[in-house]
Amino acid sequence: MPYLRKHVHTLASDIGERNVWRYAALRRTADYIEAELRGYGYSTSRQTYEVSRLPVDNIEATLEGSSPAAGIIVLGAHYDTVGECPGANDNGTGVTALLELARRFAGSPTRRTIRFVAFVNEEPPFFQTSRMGSVVYANAARARGDRIVGMLSLETMGYYSDEHGSQQYPVETMRGLYPDVGNFIGLVSNEESRELLEGVARAFRSRSRVPLQAAAMPAGLPGAGWSDHWSFWQAGYPGLMVTDTAPWRYPWYHTPQDTPDKIDFEKLADVVDGLEAALGAIAG
């Protein structure tokens, strides 16, 4: 848990808002992520492209698998924030989980290759445009012919509540199907990624104490594609999002009050444990 607290506080308290309008903070964040990954023993690479004549970077560390033909798992999280938001939960928690999982898997190759990728420019106005970092990454992977068999997007994962009515949903029909208490972590995929979803859910439940709700949903449902997994869907790859459901639960979503004191680090640690089991299972 100390690692989780350190990363969230560094991102949200020490650095704060990070995007192309706070370019120095964005660069500092990229450097921090890269330094942490290198500290775990990884070689890192940057996929650099320009936005408004400024170079921005996706940062990648690769754990080479023992069987290259088995394919690639991408574990990703975006590191930018919207304006005036320190981004503790969105998406300091996702980046924190990404770094902690990279640390745990370092030096222990799995059958499949795992790529740990921190994406830039997930937030508006770049969201679901050609300048979104994960769109740039997924399109390049498709052009190379990379055999990505699963992508997990870590997105806003740190807020939980045991109060009835704390969980909302994008459509009314979901209220009768899922809890009204926001104490769970969610897995969301499209229909084409159902097999990936089921494998991740099964392994997650074997390890984590945090309740899990998993659903394969129509890609056009509000919220279903609201993270970097969407970019991989567009490129024809299976993908899912791991999330506390963000705006459907978190009162401080995209506000200046998205600060580290809102994060339940104990539950976040349990979620990371479940993800460790899931990543190990799907990577073989």
**Nearest 5 degrees, angle CA 5-CA 262-CA 128?**
90
- Can you point out the beta strands (E) in the chain? 44-51, 54-63, 72-78, 113-119, 148-155, 185-190, 212-217, 239-243
Domains of the chain: 2-283 (3.40.630.10)
Is beta strand 239-243 parallel, antiparallel or unpaired with respect to 148-155?
A: parallel
* 26: enclosing H helix or E strand: helix 23-39
pLDDT reported for residue 63: 98
pLDDT score recorded for residue 21: 98
- CA nearest 122: which of 82, 170, 93? 82
User: What confidence tens digit (pLDDT) does each residue in 186-203 have?
Assistant: 999 999 999 999 999 999
Q: Is the pLDDT of residue 1 over 90?
A: no
Which of 71, 90, 203 minimizes the C-alpha distance to 149? 71
What pTM was computed for the model? 0.98
Which tens digits make up the pLDDT trace of 217-272? 999 999 999 999 999 999 999 999 999 999 999 999 999 999 999 999 999 999 99
Residues 6+ apart with CB under 8 A from 101: 75, 116, 272, 275, 276, 279
Give the per-residue pLDDT at 138: 99
Sheet strand arrangement including 113-119 = 44-51, 54-63, 113-119, 72-78, 148-155, 239-243, 185-190, 212-217
- Alpha-carbon gap, residue 47 to 176, rounded angstroms: 43
Question: Quick check: 75 and 279 in contact, CB under 8 A?
Answer: yes
Q: Residue 223 has what DSSP assignment? A: T
pLDDT in tens, 88-126: 999 999 999 999 999 999 999 899 999 999 999 999 999
- Bridge partners (DSSP) of residue 216 are 189
Q: Among residues 125, 253, 145, 240, which one has the least CA distance to residue 191?
A: 240
Segments in 110-239 forming alpha helices (H): 133-144, 194-205, 229-234
Q: For residue range 14-40, what is the model confidence (pLDDT) as tens digits?
A: 999 999 999 999 999 999 999 999 999
> How many whole angstroms separate alpha carbon 251 and alpha carbon 159?
9
> Could you give the 3-state DSSP secondary structure of residue 215?
strand
